[in-house]
Amino acid sequence: MIRVLLLALALVPRPVTACEVALMLAMDVSGSVDPAEYRLQVDGLALALADPSVRDVLVQGQVALSVMQWSGVGSQAVVLPWQRMLSADQVDRFAAATRAMTRAFAVSDTAVGAALDFALAGFAPVSDCRRRVIDMSGDGNENVGFTIGRARSAAQASGTEVNGLAIEGMGLSITNFYRNQVITKGGFVETARGHLDYARAIRAKMLRELTKPSG
């Protein structure tokens, strides 16, 4: 009787944990980012992903992650395609792949609107995820293309959340640009005080956007 009961329980379908968030990490690699600053961004993102608190949130939410790099008009590329974070080992492997990323573009302009459009078009493989979030990080204002207004409106209309990570030298000009022109309603901007502060800022930003309450 016990054997029959165990067999019956084994045949009962187990609930599949739904993907809570599809998070596109969009990294600025325009001409204003020198090789040392690029390395600080890549290593900082890898450190954030490997942080125990971030790792736990990623696995608990079965979060889907992808990394793209962007620069001028027509210069956008997915460098790490969508992957579901189903275990701590999987997160660690993704962090290692992030650290090993090669730079897709250099010595180019800053087309924030084109980058946002490119990111927005990339969510088809993770359409089952409850939330779609684009994490735009950069160290400069848009200086070519000038399509950020239209791109932000498209993101808003599609229900995609856009948050910003502004890498500042002095002042808050980039933070204000991201706050006023890039993020969607309900989004937020995290400010990094230079590229050396990127690791702290991206960790704080990911925890904030991944633990956002429902509704």
Digit-coded pLDDT (tens) for 115-171: 999 999 999 999 999 999 999 999 999 999 999 999 999 999 999 999 999 999 889
What's the burial of 159, exposed, middle or buried (CB within 10 Å: 0-12/13-18/19+)?
Answer: exposed
pLDDT of residue 107: 84
The predicted pLDDT at position 178 comes to: 98
**Residue recorded with tokens 């309603």:** 185
Give 212's pLDDT tier (boundaries 50, 70, 90): confident
Residue with tokens 């997915």: 78
Q: Could you give all domains of the chain from N- to C-terminal order, each with its CATH number?
A: 19-210 (3.40.50.410)
Residue 180's contacts (CB-CB under 8 Å, 6 or more residues apart) are: none
pLDDT tens digits along 58-113: 999 999 999 999 999 999 999 999 999 999 999 999 999 999 999 999 888 999 99
At residue 1, the pLDDT reads 54
Query: What was the pLDDT predicted at 4?
Result: 47
Instruction: Specify the DSSP element, H or E, that contains 165.
Output: strand 161-168
Query: In which band, very low, low, confident or very high, does the pLDDT at 3 lie, cut at 50, 70 and 90?
Result: low
| pLDDT score of 10 more than 50 | no
Q: What is the pLDDT of residues 197-209, one digit of tens each?
A: 999 999 999 999 9
> Which tens digit of pLDDT belongs to each residue from 178-199?
999 999 999 999 999 999 999 9
DSSP, collapsed to helix, strand or coil, labels residue 102 as coil
